[in-house]
C-alpha cells in the first residue's frame, strides 16, 4: 500500500471515530433536550454526522480496495442542509419567546466545542493532503463542520438572548430616534 494511501486511511479512521462520537453525542442530546427547537437542531446534526460517516466509510473501502481517491463521495455532498439558514427561518417564525434550560445550552456549547475540534482536525489534514480529490473532500468537510459550528453558535445566542438575536439578525439600527 502506498504511503499516501496509508496516511489517508489513518486520517479517515480518525475522522470516522470523531464523526461517530458526534453522532452519538447528538443522539443523546435529542433525548435530553427540553426544547423542540434544540431537539430539531440535534436531530439534524445527528443526520449530518450519519452522512459524514457513510462518506468516510465509502472512501475508506475504496482506498482499502486499491481504487484510490475518486469523486464518488460527492454523491452525498449535497445532502447536508444549511442548518444556519434553516434555523434562522424557524426562529423567526417562533419569535423571541422561546426558552431553553441550562442543560440545553450546555449541550449546544459542548456541540460547539466538538465542531471546533472537527474543523481543526480537518484543517490540519488539509495541509498534509496531496491528492486533489482528497483535498477537495477535506475542504468540503471543513465547510460542513463550520456550518454546524455556526448553527450551534447562532442557536446558543438565540437561547441566551432572543431579543438581542432578533435585533442583530434583523439588522435594526438603534439611532435613538
Mean pLDDT estimate for the chain: 86
pTM for the full model?
0.86
pLDDT in tens, 107-147: 999 999 999 999 999 999 999 998 999 999 999 999 999 99
Surface-to-core class of residue 174, CB atoms within 10 Å of its CB (0-12 exposed, 13-18 middle, 19+ buried): exposed
Grid coordinates given for 154: 447562532
The third-level CATH classification (topology) of the domain covering 3-169 is: Ferritin (1.20.1260)
**Cα gap 148→116, rounded to integer Å:** 9
pLDDT at 177 over 50: no
Among candidates 126, 5, 116, which has minimal Cα distance to 61? 5
pLDDT on residue 102: 83
pLDDT in tens, 10-56: 999 999 999 999 999 999 999 988 888 889 899 999 999 999 999 99
Amino acid at each position: 500500500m502506498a504511503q499516501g494511501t496509508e496516511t489517508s486511511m489513518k486520517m479517515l479512521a480518525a475522522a470516522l471515530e470523531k464523526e461517530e462520537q458526534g453522532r452519538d453525542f447528538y443522539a443523546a442530546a435529542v433525548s435530553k433536550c427540553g426544547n423542540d427547537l434544540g431537539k430539531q437542531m440535534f436531530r439534524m446534526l445527528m443526520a449530518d454526522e450519519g452522512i459524514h460517516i457513510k462518506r468516510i466509510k465509502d472512501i475508506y473501502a475504496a482506498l482499502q480496495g486499491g481504487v484510490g481517491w475518486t469523486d464518488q463521495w460527492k454523491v452525498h455532498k449535497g445532502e447536508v442542509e444549511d442548518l444556519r439558514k434553516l434555523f434562522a427561518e424557524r426562529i423567526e417564525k417562533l419569535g423571541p419567546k422561546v426558552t431553553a434550560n441550562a442543560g440545553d445550552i450546555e449541550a449546544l456549547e459542548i456541540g460547539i466545542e466538538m465542531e471546533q475540534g472537527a474543523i481543526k482536525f480537518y484543517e490540519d489534514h488539509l495541509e498534509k493532503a496531496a491528492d486533489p480529490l482528497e483535498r477537495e473532500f477535506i475542504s468540503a468537510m471543513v465547510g460542513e463542520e463550520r456550518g454546524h459550528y455556526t448553527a450551534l453558535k447562532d442557536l446558543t445566542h438565540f437561547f441566551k438572548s432572543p431579543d438581542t438575536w432578533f435585533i442583530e439578525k434583523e439588522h435594526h439600527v438603534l439611532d435613538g430616534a
